[in-house]
């Protein structure tokens, strides 16, 4: 039995001060994922990216969260050029 929420941290290239964080929550029969960029040391939220609702497994919620984080970072990088 897994205790929720489950958090997965993702290293961000080019930024030693921030991390990506995917928090997976179990709500009734579904799983939700909260996607944030956080400060590495304090774990305070730097930027809230999105919340993904109604996934059917924790793996699906995590994978979708990682994809959304990647998309957000790619769009942000394009805007900065």
> What is the residue-level pLDDT of the chain in tens, covering all 81 positions?
789 999 999 999 989 999 999 999 999 999 999 999 999 999 999 999 999 999 999 999 999 999 999 999 999 888 887
41's tokens: 């040391």
Whole-angstrom CA distances from 28 to 24, 35, 37 are 13, 20, 26
What pLDDT shows up at residue 14? 86
What pLDDT shows up at residue 30? 96
**How many whole angstroms separate alpha carbon 62 and alpha carbon 20?**
12
**How many whole angstroms separate alpha carbon 69 and alpha carbon 36?**
8
Give pTM, 2 decimals. 0.91
Q: Contact at 8 Å (CB) between 35 and 43?
A: no
What pLDDT shows up at residue 76? 87
């Amino acid at each position: 039995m897994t205790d929720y929420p489950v958090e997965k941290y993702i290293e961000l290239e080019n930024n030693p001060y921030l991390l990506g964080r995917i928090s997976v929550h179990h709500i009734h029969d579904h799983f939700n994922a909260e996607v944030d960029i956080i400060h590495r040391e304090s774990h305070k939220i730097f930027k809230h990216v999105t919340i993904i609702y109604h996934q059917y497994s924790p793996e699906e919620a995590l994978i979708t969260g990682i994809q959304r984080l990647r998309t957000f970072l790619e769009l942000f990088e394009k805007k900065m050029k």
